Chains A and B, each alone.
Chain A
Amino acid sequence: MDKISVYRFLSAGCNACDVEVLECLAPRYGLASLGVEVVEEPEKANVLILTGAGTVKGREALLEVYEKINPPKIVIAVGNCSITKNIFDKGYPIIGPLNKLIPVNYYIPGCPPRPQAIIKAVADILGVKIEEREEWWQTPEGFRGRHEIDREKCIGCGACAQICTADAIEVIDGPEKRIIKVNYVHCTFCAFCQDECPTKALKLTGAYHLLTNDLQKARVENEVNLLTCAICGGTFFPEKQIDWALKRIVEEKAPIYRDFSSEILDAVKICTNCRRSVESIKKAKRLLTKLSEKARATVLRK
């Protein structure tokens, strides 16, 4: 392709991605120097850039614009809304993801992607190399880019999935393992998961060049082993989470119970169903009595 003429189509997003695409035209980023121009009519374009999640009202216009684009009709979805609907997933007028309506060739994830990410993506698509001499190609410390899970630290508690603002994080319990799946093309990069993670295992890194043409690969995963119930043998809870919780109880929150750590461990290793059996309730009551006696003795000694 000698010349790339881009037509922008914004269909119900927050605007940020569209502003970033415009920003790429600024001399600093030099989209024009890659031989790219932005045109105002779809008839003159051969590349379509989509932003936004797509609404009922814009559907006809989108199909019409796609018809008018000249070959080779390359379609690039910029931003997570156009890729997966992102935070607007369950909105009633939203008809996306747009790849259901028209074929999409490339995806540039981000919320919004940095202009640097868009430029790099365009360069990759064209097969051109760009020099990253200036400082602004680097991400500053604390940049919220693609996630990374520390496999050693992650205890599989699922707090990240609970707080997630856009349902990007899934917790899938298998027969033996629990999978924490961060679907970063469905993410708002708000970093609440990072703040919420009790062991600081989940981090947002400086990785921002996330161009892909296969959405199945656009995820970060971690597996944790599930604990088997001491009575029935079924799986119910991540092993590491139990260890972490027990350590927190006997070391940080209530060091006076340290002598009982093995008994507490026995009590929590029973799945929710078995905990309701008569025997388990009796056992738990005996343990609680012991614990409260110990607590009372400690208080009296003081």
Chain B
Amino acid sequence: MPEKVYIGPYRPQLVEPERFELLVEGDRIIDAKMELGYMHRGIEKLFTTRTYMQNLALAERICGICSGVHTLCYAQTVERLMGVDVPERARYLRCIYMELERLHSHYLWFGILAHSLHEHEIFAKIMGEREIIQDLFEYLTGNRINYAINTIGGVRRDITPEKAEKIRKVLKTLRSLSDYIMSLLDDNGVLTKKTKGVGVLPRDKAIEVGAVGPVLRASGVTSDVRKDDPYAAYDKLNFEVIVEKDGDLRAKSLVRARETYESMKIIEQALDNLPSGDIAAKPGEPKVGEEIGRTEAPRGELIYYIKSNGTNIPERVKVRTPSYANNFAILAMLRGEYLKNARAVIESIDPCFACTDRVVVVDARTGVRRIMNLK
């Protein structure tokens, strides 16, 4: 007789409030449902009540972990609407800030993964060592999490030679942290035992549910907006798109661990080749029309759509966040999984419900129920 198990919504085992309903037989999950909306704040409506400049702070607060990439994607879309040409130096600086953000986001994910696998020592070590990157952000931008670094037309704070030196120093320390994480994931690693074969998402299924970012790349699909549709200065920087074949939790961990090295490579290249010049161009007038922008957030592809009526307030802003696309992957992975692994599987996509919930109610009218109960 199958029984129902509920996870959440307000359980601090999950970082954010979300409710999962699992149908369990024995110790296996046979079906999973999810209820969203605990974090819905009506941001898309709020976007249409503020000016383009003021919306930067709002875009930043969609998500507190990948806050920078939200403002970047928003700013890039508005720049296209306004016909602003971003200075070369600002493009490189954007790459540096965004890759630093990817590093901090990936390390945070490893911390939370270790926590959900009850590896509290690893959790404490990773969370402790990743502090230096938050300190670096505070030093570079004036705040640890909501950096407010991007503006329409460029960035707001420059990287001086002393700051560049400090970044290089921090990267050296982070490299050893990445090495440590890689050692946990090698054939006899502590995390390997607990993650191998857990929450497998086969390649076909990953494409079918529309997964993005590291989740998709861990299932053997090469997809990265930085390569496919380069923005900022990514077309001039040399890096590799990391792909793993297995599709399980270990593959997802490996993708993220190896990506941290690529991010460091990007930052070092950008620092070496930093062109001189302005860090921001003056914003112009938005033309009447619509634009779409996309970036590769730490969690995957992030899309902004903005419709302008020529005034200084956007008429419509639509955001498609990576976690929203990946949520359906959770349901696919939970089916057939052991109940004890449920939490790790949910954490495996690096869910960011602050991102997701802003989207879900927009779709409510067309039938959220239908979408949530994937067959």
Contact = CB atoms under 8 A, between A and B. Distances in A.
Interface of A: 7-20, 22-23, 25-28, 38, 40, 52-53, 55, 57-58, 61, 65, 87-88, 90-94, 111-112, 114, 136, 139-140, 142-144, 163-166, 188-192, 195, 204
Contact of B145 (A19, A143, A163): A19
Given A12-B38, A136-B135, A26 B50 contact: no
Given A40-B12, A88-B46, A15 B63 contact: yes
A177 to B, nearest CB: 27
Contact of B156 (A16, A91, A188, A195): A195
Interface string B124-148: 1001100100110011011111101
Contact of B41 (A27, A28, A55): A55
Contacts of A91: 41-43, 45-46
Contacts of B77: none
Contacts of A94: 41-42
Contact of A144 (B16, B42, B143): B143
A53 B13 CA distance: 21
B17 A26 contact: no
B57 A166 contact: yes
A58 B38 contact: yes
Nearest to B14: A10
A32 to B, nearest CB: 10
Contacts of B60: 14, 188, 190
Given A92-B45, A93-B41, A61 B67 contact: no
A165 B57 contact: yes
Interface string B7-41: 00111110111000000000000000000011111
A204 B49 CA distance: 26
A204 B46 CA distance: 26
Contact of A61 (B10, B50, B143): B10
Given A55-B39, A55-B41, 11 more contacts: A55-B40, A65-B10, A91-B43, A91-B45, A92-B42, A112-B64, A112-B146, A136-B135, A143-B138, A144-B143, A190-B57
Closest 8 A/B residue pairs (Cβ): A16-B64, A165-B57, A15-B64, A91-B42, A14-B64, A144-B142, A14-B61, A16-B145
B144 A14 contact: no
Interface string B348-359: 000010100100
A188 to B, nearest CB: 5
A8 B124 CA distance: 19
A39 B16 CA distance: 15
B65 interface: yes
B225 interface: no
Nearest to A61: B10
Q: From B10, B50, B357, name the one whose CB has the most chain A CB atoms within 10 angstroms.
A: B10
Contact of A28 (B16, B57, B131): B131
A27 B65 contact: no
B143 A189 contact: yes
B17 A58 contact: yes
A188 B56 CA distance: 11
Contact of B146 (A16, A27, A192): A16
Given A93-B40, A166-B57, A192-B53, A14 B354 contact: yes
Contacts of A92: 42, 45
A10 B42 contact: no
Given A13-B354, A91-B42, A142-B157, A38 B142 contact: no
Contacts of B103: none
B16 A10 contact: yes
Contact of A23 (B50, B127, B352): B127
A12 B64 contact: no
B372 interface: no
Contacts of B146: 14, 16, 111-112, 188-190
Contact of B46 (A57, A90, A142, A163): A90
Contacts of B41: 12, 53, 55, 88, 91, 93-94
Contacts of A192: 53-54, 57, 148
A60 to B, nearest CB: 10
A58 B144 CA distance: 27
Nearest to B11: A40
Contact of B16 (A15, A20, A88, A195): A15
Contacts of B143: 111, 143-144, 189
Nearest to A25: B127
A144 B42 CA distance: 27
B57 A90 contact: no
B241 interface: no
21 contacts: A11-B38, A13-B64, A15-B352, A18-B16, A23-B131, A26-B127, A40-B11, A40-B13, A58-B10, A61-B17, A88-B43, A91-B42, A92-B42, A93-B42, A111-B143, A112-B64, A139-B138, A142-B157, A166-B57, A190-B56, A192-B57
Given A16-B67, A26-B131, A142-B157, A191 B142 contact: yes
